[in-house]
A and B are shown apart, each in its own frame.
Chain A
């Protein structure tokens, strides 16, 4: 749909100015769409693939929009809800699993409804490129009774975001804009519009609506159900839902979002009903479309949300019998599925190439302070409950020193349970600084309150590293790079009743190991804060490299246990084993390997010759 058509739909954009075209990623287009729609307050916690939405919004004039990092996704949504109460347009952005954290607020706010337009952007990660699962947010929308819009590309990302604010206010509901990794990180040319701010609606006055005591909630729930029916009709009639009739009537495709692009690539001639969103189901539009074709095939990524809903209205749709329920869709999978359905020739098999690709798992960076923390932890012989962050990579070889990782903030609670179950080993929870502030503080208070015998190793690299180096309340800077109050983690731990708190530099491996020994010997909750900045963000750190003195290297490869990407085998052997060499271009001189080397053959370059 064009900007002009959208202008009629939203009644917001001025069509007098010629539209400008910019190459934007899906995330940048969402930010642009929100800005054009007059968003006033936007908040998020970073999470791949959604992170750049708020980073892009922070590029706009602070007078136009407040853009901020929240401590977690629930706080981000609560912030947006607060702004909506005041009558302005608000946005919260998060990755799919972030919605689990924010779900409590979403479920209740669905009853209350939006005063100022509220759009919740949720980016799914089909194929699990950088997440712990591939849950399908569309099922959450059904649970919450909240409509979902699913743009297919960056142009639609902008247009659907604008429409989402309008929809939110027109139907008195929060709106979820669901993207996926491919939408977020695909760049294409987008025709952009201008910003238009609707007048503030003023503070929401009606407490029978905004206070969810049981008496009010019982009155609000029927409203949600009535709204569902009205939204279902809108889904079928909005120009954001598009029907493309084709010459081939054997089969019609019902699809939404990015899946539409794969359909068009694989089968450009089939009739398509491209829905603006999967929920609420555009029942009438689907019935009309189904009546014009012999059979209905549903193409959707992940769960059979549309397929099951369509079958429930009595249309024998096919879908997951042809296309996988796991991972990302692709043109190849579309062709395979359509061939299986007898709708196209099976693609000619491509002769396999007799080259087995080498595994290249992600690794902790050269000089990463987490490397030393987990190397030391490995020697402690503890049960280690891990958490979400770069350091989760310590679970795999060669560090292999994390036993569990469930989700954001789970480590400390998991450790409490391990300790209470009476293990034969000490119990350690490891959690990064950003994750600690996100959801690690309540379980730490719980550990103190319940007198758990655990050690908490806070891996403080002074940044949210995994998502590319975002600030948080412990960094002293905000999303716009301005100074901000800084949380003192050690003081926080003491304030909640922990007596045993130590701060160590993980680059001092011996001292860190000794501290961990003392901490695990301590009865009750002990906290070790391994404090050392990330080597990539906010500043890329590069010190004088260290080098291996080849004649002293005994090829024990103890240093290889660190998994440092700067250390590889050299061409030389000792007793039939590979000696090591250090790449001076990537080594940052952290000296962790030198501290681990039993023969002291790793030395700073200047003094490396014995």
Chain B
């Protein structure tokens, strides 16, 4: 039994005769499929067998989108095995990190937009000083350490050219620098795929991506301000209800974002005190001043 042929991978342009496994990832609506189509068409024109496989059941709902593009003389499996992608093209930063382990260890090429699409899930904790659940890794943690390649502000480049939606074509342009296919042929392929009215901007985006050079090393991105406060539970926080003043209208119960309050017969009570984050919504909305929120963790 022999494993799949392990092709040597060099950062220099790859010969046009070699087949490739390319993984294109992002979130719904970013244009993952446009890149996949362009790659598939390019490979097809050069006489390769091509398979392009995607899962898009949840794509429209902000979920993860990924597309496997494989081309070679013969392609069997529609999917790329972990550790066997030659290139990873990511349209969003956290998605780039998610699929990093699919690259050939140490030899894969990583091309990612540094754009962050922060899902609501990453901003859920109301606790004092809660950190965002968004990925903390920076391009320096990846490029050169896990993979060859680059992370660039493709969305910024595309926005400067006039349409942020052309970020995918910027990345395609960057990718093209690793493959020795003629630029004119890339232009043809892109023109054939994108809507007629967007050919010019996509061509410009492709050229900008292809010509991109890394900024000077001291231009490190600033650390996120949102993660500045120390996390952890805070015992100085709590809520109490004065039963004598409560008339049982239920406003606080209905509107508590953490659902720590409940009705107990005619009165509101604190059912899960540990869940209180001290947001004060109940205190502000109580028409009878029956609710008191203790929140001593407030910075001066």
| Chain A interface residues toward B at CB < 8 A | 23, 48-49, 129-130, 153, 181-182, 185-189, 248, 258, 261-262, 264-265, 267-270, 330-332, 335, 338, 343-345, 347, 350-353, 355, 357-365, 379, 390, 393, 397-398, 468, 536, 554-558, 560-561, 563-565, 567-571, 573, 575-578, 580, 585, 598-599
Residues of B close to A358: CB separation below 8 A: 94, 97-98, 119, 122, 133-135
Neighbour of A360 across the interface among B4, B121, B225, B281, CB < 8 A: B121
Q: How far is the CA of A393 from the CA of B119 in the complex (A)?
A: 15
- Is A576 a contact of B298 with CB atoms below 8 Å? yes
The reply to whether A569 and B94 form a contact with Cβ atoms under 8 Å apart is no
Least Cβ–Cβ distance between A249 and chain B, in angstroms: 13
Complexed CA–CA distance, A554 and B126 (Å): 12
Q: Can you pick out 14 interface pairs between chain A and chain B where the beta carbons lie within 8 Å of each other?
A: A186-B78, A187-B52, A270-B1, A331-B84, A332-B81, A345-B1, A353-B100, A360-B63, A554-B284, A560-B120, A560-B124, A576-B299, A577-B130, A577-B277
Please state if A569 and B132 are interface contacts (CB–CB under 8 Å): yes
Within 8 A of A (CB), among B20-58: 27, 40-41, 44, 49-58
**Structural contact, B229 and A569, CB atoms closer than 8 A:** no
Contacts known (A187-B51, A261-B77); A576 close to B297, Cβ less than 8 A: yes
Main secondary structure of the interface of B (DSSP, over half): loop
**CB of A180 to closest CB in B, whole Å:** 10
Nearest Cβ on chain A to B182's Cβ, whole angstroms: 22
How distant is the Cα of A536 from the Cα of B62 in the complex, in angstroms? Answer: 12
Would you call B226 and A569 a contact (CB within 8 A)?
yes
Q: For B199, list chain A residues within 8 Å (CB).
A: none
Q: Are A181 and B55 in contact (CB under 8 A)?
A: yes
CA distance A347 to B3 in the complex (A): 8
Asked whether B281 lies within 8 Å of A558 as measured between CB atoms, the reply is: yes
Structural contact, A565 and B49, CB atoms closer than 8 A: no
Instruction: Report yes or no: A556 in contact with B280, Cβ–Cβ below 8 A.
Output: yes
- CB closest chain-B residue, reference A128: B57
The answer to whether A357 touches B97, judged by C-beta atoms less than 8 angstroms apart, is yes
- Whether B156 sits at the interface, judged by CB under 8 Å, is no
Asked if B196 is at the interface of the complex by the 8 Å CB criterion, the answer is no
* Bound-complex Cα distance A575 to B51 (A): 54
Rounded to whole Å, the gap between the CB of A157 and the closest CB of chain B is 12
Residues of A within 8 A of B100 (CB): 353, 355
Interface size on B, residues (CB 8 A): 77
CB distance from B57 to the nearest CB of A (A): 3
The binding surface of chain A is classed by DSSP as loop
The residue that A362 contacts in the complex, of B49, B61, B254, B284, with Cβ under 8 A, is B61
The one of A48, A558, A575, A599 that contacts B298, using a Cβ cutoff of 8 Å: A575
Taking a contact as CB atoms under 8 Å apart, the answer to whether B255 and A558 are in contact is yes
Find out whether the CB atom of B277 lies under 8 angstroms from the CB atom of A359: no
Which of B52, B120, B132, B279 sits near A563, CB closer than 8 Å?
A: B120
Given known pairs A365-B62, A560-B124, A561-B257, the reply for A352 and B101 (CB within 8 Å) is yes
Q: Which of B105, B137, B254, B295 contacts A351 (CB 8 A)?
A: B105
**Distance of A473 Cα from B210 Cα, bound (Å):** 49
A264, B70: Cα distance in complex, Å: 15
What is the distance, in angstroms, from A232's C-beta to the closest C-beta of chain B?
Answer: 28
A330 touches B81 (CB 8 A): yes
Chain A contacts for B81, CB-based, 8 A = 265, 330-332, 335
Specify the chain A residue showing the minimal Cβ separation from B41: A23
Q: Mark B74-118, 1 if CB is under 8 A from A, else 0.
A: 011111011110000000001101101100010000000000001
